[in-house]
Amino acid sequence: MANDSQSIVILDGARRTPRADILINNREPGLFARFATTALGGMAIKATLDHTSVDKALVGHVVMGMASHSHRDSIYAAQGMAWRGGLADDVPALTVARICGSGVESVAVGMEHILAGIRHDGDRPFLVVGGAESMQYPFSVYGMRGQKVGSSIQKYGPLDPRGLPRGAMLQDSLLLGLYDPGASLAMANTAEELGRRYGITREEADAFGYRSHMNAKAARDKRLFTEEIEPVTLPGSGGQPDFVVENDTHIMDNISLAKMSRLHAAFEAGGIITAGNASAVVDGAAAMVLGKEDDARSHRAKPLARVIGVGTAACDPQIMGWGPVPATRLALEKAGLQGGDIDHVELNEAFAPQALACIRDFGEMGIDPEMINPMGNAIALGHPLGATGAILTLTCAYALRRNGQRYGLVTMCIGGGQGNALIIENLS
């Protein structure tokens, strides 16, 4: 990527939705519960195209990450996001699914699409990439195939479980997706295993969760997220005015270490992961425009950052959260950099012990722990699976510009035992 014809840039104007908890007070439907994944992705694409200087008629392809088919229209995925985002019917779209790494994967696939040139449209040289996820996963009915459906199940409506025949059962798709049969462990238990291998204590996990919330709260209060978030307006009901969602909703203003210490272990007896030091379950989406640097110049589009390194790696699924470590090593190698060159890191915080294990190994690479998640991350802000990597990419790019820094790292752990990473260079 040494010359402009082979250098891929992210254009200025990338936007994301706020991240909204799937439930309010763990009881009421979340603020974005009404939106399918395609709707959230469409919001992000439209906002990005509205804020990016390049004409949307120059967009030739869309690549969007999504982890799970959670809604009726999810099968259309990226294509649905593209038309909801205002792109023409003749713009093709691809959905990529590398579980939690899907948002980062969309950037990598978009780069490969451009650089390979096999299907690249020279007349429409820019791509929209990103990710979206509604975590409003449904309950699925099992044991019904071949049986009479009856009145309890409607084709496009609710279900009355009292009317299900004997042998039928309901299962929560969200919980099903968080168990890895290859590891014989749920995702949280793989993080507990990492905690044991690295000797991480409950106190360290709580302190890290507290740091995430404090950093995120400070960033929100300083309005550091404002340039990347496109507010979402929710129509009022019952004569109430419209409500505008401007910020990520999970940040806790009144959190304390004392309160966190009183939370019970959520996944294992004697475990260290609690509701306070694990990632929040939220809905959200992000998008950005990619192109060659020389195309950006010729169309007078302002680049925000250059992607200079990509790494994808695999590891033992029983410690799936360690995946960012080998992925980051590969990305640094591709970029020709050392860990000490990195100025800002966005490491997804799936669980506190998972993040802390990675941070220890990052330290061995020369990456300063203080550079990691200075604005908080998934514990405070949430983890909408297929969207998170894209969200962190634009968060990192804007932070580099705002702070006058040069190199940033975005890296994700991935269920099943993988990790991926991007290294970006500030061009502002």
- Kindly report the pTM of this predicted structure: 0.95
Measured CA to CA, the distance from residue 129 to residue 286 in angstroms comes to 9
Q: Which of 159, 132, 133 has its CA nearest to residue 144?
A: 159
Where b means 16+ CB within 10 Å and e means fewer, 212-234 reads: bbebbbebbeeebbeebbbebee
Residues 100, 315, 358, 396: which is the catalytic one? 100
Q: Catalogue all structural domains in the chain, each as residue range(s) with its CATH number.
A: 4-137+280-426 (3.40.47.10)
Q: Note the pLDDT tens digit of each residue in 312-348.
A: 999 999 999 999 999 999 999 999 999 999 999 999 9
Band the pLDDT of 127: cuts 50, 70, 90: very high
Q: What is the pLDDT of residue 309?
A: 98
Task: Determine the residue type at 240.
Answer: Q
Token pair belonging to 258: 């004392």
Compute the average pLDDT of residues 248-261.
Answer: 95
Band the pLDDT of 185: cuts 50, 70, 90: very high
CA separation, residue 258 to residues 206, 377, 378 (Å): 9, 21, 21
Q: Note the pLDDT tens digit of each residue in 365-406.
A: 999 999 999 999 999 999 999 999 999 999 999 999 999 999
Q: Note the pLDDT tens digit of each residue in 132-160.
A: 999 998 888 888 777 766 655 554 556 67
Where b means 16+ CB within 10 Å and e means fewer, 119-129 reads: eebeebbbbbb
Residues 315, 358, 396, 413: which is the catalytic one? 413
User: Coil, strand or helix: which one is 258?
Assistant: helix
Indicate the DSSP class of residue 245. E
Q: Is 100 a catalytic residue?
A: yes
**Contact (Cβ atoms closer than 8 angstroms) between residue 106 and residue 63:** yes
Give the range among 61-65, 73-77, 141-145, 260-264 with minimum mean pLDDT: 141-145
Q: What is the pLDDT of residue 412?
A: 98
User: Coil, strand or helix: which one is 304?
Assistant: strand
Q: Note the pLDDT tens digit of each residue in 192-205.
A: 999 999 999 999 99
Q: Which of 296, 284, 292, 308 has its CA nearest to residue 389?
A: 284
**Residues 287, 346, 218, 65: what is their CA dihedral angle, to the nearest 10 degrees?**
30
Q: What is the pLDDT of residue 238?
A: 79
Q: What is the pLDDT of residue 168?
A: 81
Q: Is 358 a catalytic residue?
A: no
Mean per-residue pLDDT of the chain: 94
Band the pLDDT of 1: cuts 50, 70, 90: very low
User: Coil, strand or helix: which one is 426?
Assistant: strand
Confidence check: pLDDT of 362 > 90: yes
Q: Which of 238, 241, 240, 220 has its CA nearest to residue 229?
A: 220
Band the pLDDT of 2: cuts 50, 70, 90: very low
